[in-house]
Amino acid sequence: MLDENEFLSPYGLRSLSRYHAEHPYVIHACGQEYRVSYLPAESDTGMFGGNSNWRGLIWMPVNALVIRALLHYFGYYGEDFTVECPTGSGRQMNLYEVFGLGPTFVFPTATSKFAGQGAWQAGAAFAAVYTGVPRLLMGFLLQNPISFAYTSSDRPAQNTFAFQPAVLFSLWDGWYLRSADATWVYGWRRHSPSLLPLSLGVGRVMVRPGLPPLNFYVSAQWTAYHQNSPITSQWSVNFGVTIAFSQFGKGE
């Protein structure tokens, strides 16, 4: 993941390893050859609808999920656990330092006009963590994407501040309490949606000899306040599982 010749780029994580630019994944089925290669711009095939976020471009949801997972594992391993970043540089970082500051992107991928904002957006992202209290981790992920291009002329401009607080309290045997799923949203433009959800849940990190660490959790979320957002659920339940692979074989 931290290899600049594979997933790591100056602007975030690629959705597909750059290794596959010269070594596409090929499968033969029913007498036909199918391949997936690294294509960060326009696709050269109509498979899966043509252009796809999984062909190598830097996709915001992928990077947001990685940042969230790194915060969880940093809360468990602490500052003493370090990795080489970038790979081959000889520079060691803890899991928080790997993705503390960077860009955020939003791409218009919704197939229905009513399901998305229809705007290409970019902005800054920042994450911070405090671990000065034993067994307690407090942090946040801050993003503010701003629109710069649109799928149609009737799409409104977007400028949204998103703040995701994270609080984890370690219990015993890898179990922990968490409040890390709710994202507070404030639209800077008039009539833009604003949301204030609250979440609480429980999770566990399992470290198994010879196997990658496994983190799973379940949490409930309640929307305490919302404005200009008519389609908003009052309650929701989230489940999640994260597996940390220390190595990923090329071409697999």
**What residue spans define the domains of the chain?**
8-243
Report the C-alpha gap between 217 and 231 in whole angstroms: 26
Three-class SS state of 73: helix
Between CA 117 and CA 25 the distance in angstroms is 33
- SS3 assignment, position 62: helix
Predicted TM-score of the model (pTM):
0.60
Q: How far is CA 35 from CA 58, 63, 125, in A?
A: 20, 25, 34
pLDDT string in tens for the chain (252-residue length) = 888 888 887 777 887 888 888 888 888 888 888 777 777 766 666 655 555 666 667 776 777 777 777 776 776 677 778 888 888 888 888 776 676 666 777 878 777 777 778 888 888 788 777 777 888 888 888 889 899 988 888 888 999 999 989 888 989 888 999 998 899 999 998 888 899 999 999 998 888 787 878 888 999 999 999 988 877 888 999 888 887 665 444 444
With H, G, I as helix, E, B as strand and everything else as coil, classify residue 16: coil
Q: How far apart are CA 69 and CA 85, in angstroms?
A: 17
Cis peptide before 230 (omega within 30 of 0): no
